[in-house]
C-alpha cells in the first residue's frame, strides 16, 4: 500500500521483523567478522584461585586459553585417529585444529573458517558413514560453536545454529548421495544443547550483573539517605544551641541600655540594631530548620546533652551489660556547646556500636583536653566468645554519622579494628583558644 502524499510504501510488521533479523545477522556474523578480539585473561580473585601459590595464581589467568587449546588438541587427535594415522589424517587434524585456535583472537572469523575446514576435510579425508562432518570436523565445529557463543551473545549463537543447519542441508542434498549415513541431525541436536546451555549461562550472568548494579545503586542511595538524615538530626540539635545563644544576645542587647545611666543615643541605637539582627537571624534559622524538619518532629523539652552528662550515659550502658571505663586527661574546661554536643553523640554512637557488634566486651572512653581542642578515644576489646554470642544487627551507618559530625567541626577521625581484635574510634575536635583580652573585648 502506498500512503497518501506519494511517500514510501508502508511495510508490514512481518517485513520489518525480517529486515531487523537480517540486520542482526549482518551485524553479528558479517560486519568485521575477522576483527581482532583476543580472549582476555580470567579473573584471579576467586576463592579457589587465592589458595594457589603465587606463580600458579598468575598462570591461572590463562585457564580459558588452556581449555581452548585442549579442545583443539582433542579435535586433532580424533581426526588423526579416525584416519588411521596416515599423512592425510595429519592434514585433516591440522585443519580441525586451526578454527578452534582462531577463536582465541578472531572468534567470528573462526566460525566461518570452521565451514571452510569442514569442507576441506570432507574433500581430503575419506569416510563413507559420516557426512558432511567427519569425526575431527564434528568435534572441531562443536568446539567453535560453543566458544564463539560464550564470547558473543545469545543472538549470535542462534544465527550460528541456523547457518549450521543450512550448511548441513545443502551438503546432504547436493553431495551426500555417495554416503551411507549423514550426521547433520546429530550435529544440530548436540549443538543445540550446547548453545542452549551457553544461552542460559549468558542469561544468568546478565541477571547477576543487573542485580549487582541494582544493589550498588541501592547501597549508594541508602548511604546518601542516611547521610541526609544525619545532617537533619545535626541541624535540629544545633538549632537549640544556636537559638539559645541568639536569644541571649537579643535579651542582653535589649537590657544593656538600662544598665547604664543616661546612655548616649548612639549606644542605644547600636544595641537596638544588635537586637533586631539577632531576632532576624533567629527567625531565619527557624525558617530554614522548618525545611528539613519532619512534620511529626517535636522539639525536645530538655536541653541538649554535653560532656557533663556523660556519666549518666555510661551508667545506662553499664546497666545494658557493657563494662566501660572513663579516663579524663588535661584541664577540664567549658567548650563551645556545639563541640560538647557532638562529642557526647560520638561517644554515644561508638558505645552503641560496641553493644551491637561486640556484646560482652570491655570498653574504654578516653577524653583529653588539650590546648588546640578535644580528643576522644573509644576502644573496645574483642567479644569473649565471638562464636557463641551473635551480634545484634544495626543500620550499619553509625560511622557515617560520626564522620559527618567531625567534618562539620573541621576535625579528624579514624576508625578501624585494633591488633587485638577489638575496634577503636579516635576523634580530634579543634577548639579555638580565646585569650583573656579577646574574651573581655
The mean pLDDT value for 381-396 works out to 59
Cell digits of residue 327: 579516663
CB 89 within 8 A of CB 125: yes
φ, ψ of residue 249 in degrees (nearest 5): -60, -45
DSSP string, 237-284: HHHHHHHHHHHHHHHHHHHGGGGSSS--HHHHHHHHHHHHHHHHHHHH
Supply the pLDDT for residue 394: 46
Give yes or no for residue 4 having a pLDDT over 70: no
Supply the pLDDT for residue 174: 82
| Range of lowest pLDDT (232-241, 406-415, 419-428) | 232-241
Give yes or no for residue 67 having a pLDDT over 70: yes
Q: How far apart are CA 201 and CA 146, in angstroms?
A: 12
Supply the pLDDT for residue 17: 83
Would you give the DSSP letter of residue 361?
-
pLDDT category at 244 given cuts 50, 70, 90 is low
Q: Which long-range contacts link 35-44 to residues 24+ away (Cβ below 8 Å)?
A: 35/106, 35/108, 35/109, 36/105, 36/106, 37/105, 37/106, 37/107, 37/151, 38/104, 38/105, 39/64, 39/65, 39/68, 39/103, 39/104, 39/105, 39/151
Q: Which of 363, 367, 398 is nearest to 379 (CA)?
A: 363
Give yes or no for residue 3 having a pLDDT over 60: no
Largest Cα–Cα separation, the chain: 130
Partners of 291 in beta bridges: none
Give yes or no for residue 356 having a pLDDT over 50: yes
> What average pLDDT does the structure give for the chain?
83
The mean pLDDT value for 407-418 works out to 91
Give yes or no for residue 414 having a pLDDT over 70: yes
Helix or strand (DSSP H, E) at 408: helix 398-408
Ranges 182-186, 281-285, 293-297, most confident: 182-186
Supply the pLDDT for residue 291: 57
pLDDT category at 9 given cuts 50, 70, 90 is low
Supply the pLDDT for residue 8: 54
Partners of 375 in beta bridges: 368, 428
CB 139 within 8 A of CB 130: no
Supply the pLDDT for residue 81: 87
Distances (CA, A) of 42 to 111, 114, 154: 23, 25, 21
Q: How far apart are CA 92 and CA 72, in angstroms?
A: 12
Supply the pLDDT for residue 433: 65
pLDDT, tens digit (0-9, with 9 covering 90-100), for 122-170: 888 766 667 899 999 999 999 999 999 999 999 999 999 999 999 999 9
| Range of lowest pLDDT (131-140, 257-266, 383-392, 426-435) | 383-392
CB 272 within 8 A of CB 249: no
The distance in angstroms from the start CA to the end CA of the chain is 93
pLDDT, tens digit (0-9, with 9 covering 90-100), for 13-54: 888 888 888 888 898 899 889 999 999 988 777 677 777 777
Instruction: Identify the residue whose cell numbers are 594415522.
Output: 85
DSSP string, 4-48: TTT-PPPPPHHHHHHHHHHHHHIIIIITTTT---PPPPPP--STT
Q: Which of 99, 91, 92 is nearest to 72 (CA)?
A: 99
Strand order in the sheet with 324-329: 324-329, 363-370, 373-380, 423-430, 412-417
Cell digits of residue 4: 497518501
The mean pLDDT value for 94-118 works out to 95
Give yes or no for residue 436 having a pLDDT over 70: no
Cell digits of residue 154: 545469545
Supply the pLDDT for residue 188: 96
DSSP string, 298-329: ---SSPPP-GGGHHHHHHHHHHTT--EEEEEE
Amino acid at each position: 500500500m502506498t500512503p497518501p502524499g506519494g511517500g514510501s510504501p508502508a511495510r508490514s510488521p512481518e517485513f520489518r521483523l525480517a529486515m531487523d533479523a537480517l540486520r542482526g545477522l549482518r551485524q553479528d556474523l558479517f560486519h568485521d567478522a575477522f576483527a581482532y578480539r583476543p580472549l582476555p585473561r580470567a579473573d584471579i580473585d576467586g576463592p579457589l584461585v587465592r589458595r594457589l601459590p603465587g606463580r600458579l595464581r598468575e598462570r591461572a589467568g590463562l585457564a580459558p586459553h588452556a581449555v581452548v587449546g585442549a579442545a583443539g588438541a582433542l579435535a586433532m587427535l580424533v581426526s588423526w585417529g579416525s584416519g588411521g594415522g596416515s599423512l592425510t589424517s595429519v592434514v585433516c587434524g591440522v585443519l580441525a585444529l586451526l578454527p578452534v585456535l582462531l577463536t582465541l583472537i578472531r572468534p567470528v572469523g573462526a566460525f566461518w573458517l570452521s565451514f571452510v575446514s569442514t569442507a576441506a576435510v570432507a574433500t581430503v579425508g575419506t569416510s563413507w558413514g559420516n557426512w558432511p562432518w567427519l569425526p575431527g570436523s564434528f568435534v572441531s565445529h562443536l568446539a567453535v560453536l560453543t566458544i564463539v557463543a560464550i564470547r558473543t551473545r545469545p543472538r549470535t549463537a542462534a544465527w550460528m545454529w541456523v547457518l549450521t543447519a543450512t550448511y548441513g542441508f545443502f551438503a546432504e542434498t547436493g553431495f551426500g548421495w555417495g554416503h551411507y549415513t549423514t550426521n547433520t541431525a546429530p550435529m544440530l541436536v548436540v549443538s543445540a544443547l550446547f548453545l542452549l546451555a551457553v544461552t542460559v549461562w549468558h542469561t544468568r550472568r546478565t541477571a547477576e550483573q543487573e542485580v549487582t548494579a541494582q544493589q550498588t545503586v541501592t547501597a549508594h542511595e541508602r548511604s546518601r539517605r542516611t547521610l541526609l538524615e544525619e545532617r537533619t538530626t545535626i541541624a535540629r540539635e544545633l538549632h537549640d544551641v544556636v537559638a539559645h545563644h541568639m536569644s541571649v544576645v537579643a535579651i542582653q542587647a535589649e537590657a544593656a541600655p538600662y544598665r547604664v545611666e543616661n546612655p548616649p543615643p548612639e549606644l542605644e541605637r547600636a544595641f537596638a540594631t544588635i537586637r533586631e539582627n539577632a531576632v532576624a537571624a533567629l527567625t531565619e534559622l527557624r525558617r530554614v530548620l522548618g525545611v528539613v524538619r519532619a512534620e511529626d518532629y517535636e522539639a525536645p523539652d530538655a536541653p541538649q546533652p554535653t560532656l557533663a552528662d556523660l556519666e549518666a550515659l555510661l551508667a545506662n550502658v553499664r546497666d545494658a551489660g557493657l563494662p566501660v571505663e572513663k579516663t579524663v586527661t588535661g584541664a577540664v574546661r567549658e567548650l563551645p556547646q556545639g563541640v560538647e554536643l557532638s562529642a557526647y553523640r560520638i561517644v554515644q554512637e561508638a558505645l552503641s556500636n560496641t553493644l551491637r557488634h561486640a556484646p560482652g566486651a570491655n570498653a574504654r572512653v578516653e577524653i583529653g583536653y588539650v590546648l588546640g581542642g578535644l580528643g576522644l578515644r573509644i576502644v573496645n576489646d574483642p567479644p569473649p566468645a565471638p562464636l557463641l554470642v551473635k551480634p545484634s544487627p544495626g543500620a550499619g551507618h553509625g560511622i557515617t554519622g560520626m564522620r559527618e559530625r567531625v567534618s562539620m567541626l573541621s576535625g579528624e577521625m579514624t576508625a578501624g579494628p585494633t591488633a587485638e581484635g577489638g575496634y577503636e574510634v579516635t576523634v580530634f575536635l579543634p577548639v579555638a583558644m580565646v585569650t583573656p583580652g579577646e574574651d573581655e573585648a
